[in-house]
A and B are shown apart, each in its own frame.
Chain A
Amino acid sequence: MKHELPALPWAYDALEPYISKQTIEFHYGKHHQTYVNNLNNLIPGTAFENSSLEEIILKAEGGIFNNGAQVWNHTFYWQCLSPKGGGQPTGKLAEAINRDFGSFEAFREKFSAAAATLFGSGWAWLVKTPEGKLEIVQESNAGNPLRQGKTPLLTCDVWEHAYYLDKQNRRADYIADFWKLVDWEAVAERF
């Protein structure tokens, strides 16, 4: 099965001024595309030749896991962002955030800290556990919470390539701007 690079849900410049067109061109057009290409080159003749990305995330190791998970993670990340994003969640998701973190502000601080302190390359995630509880988790490199049986609701990419052209070493500025782009409707649907 050949994996394809899914279309972006918005134009390359749609997230400006928070994430530049140039960053999206490289991040989507080069990094995301390369993970797709690498995966397609790695799977022929292996047990994962006809596997879904989710199966790869659950069972694969090494290069197939790294590239397969990175394909999934980036597609998911794009779907977390929107030029009409920002603000706060409403409804049942807002209630669950209040229940598990105390308040939206407390949640946002905790998620931002997880993104800021992830050392090296990786992702910060808001997930739902099998018991229905919300949690914040850090994953290094290509890590994905599906592997621990948790359902991803929201993610922030903190590989340096996600922000270096725009913010260089100032990861905290990137995270602050990330909140202005979060598509809470999409997050609520996953919940």
Chain B
Amino acid sequence: MKEKPVFEEDLRKLQKIVDELSSGKLTLGESLKRYEEGVKIAQACSSTLGEAQRKVELLMKKDGKFSLEKFDDTDEGEEA
């Protein structure tokens, strides 16, 4: 399971960095630091969204207990 709170926090951070940097009020040293941080976060967020490993599961409940079963969603022989 992905860490949604981290992702959302990252996006907020990124937005803040963009705002700070575009304000033009930072020193060159600060700018470089923020820029580096921002680029790193942007890449991390993009790659999270670009990830192609997904799980498809069936949620089962027996005697009040949850269990997960693999759900086969391969379609029309598109994938083996």
A and B: bona fide binding partners: no
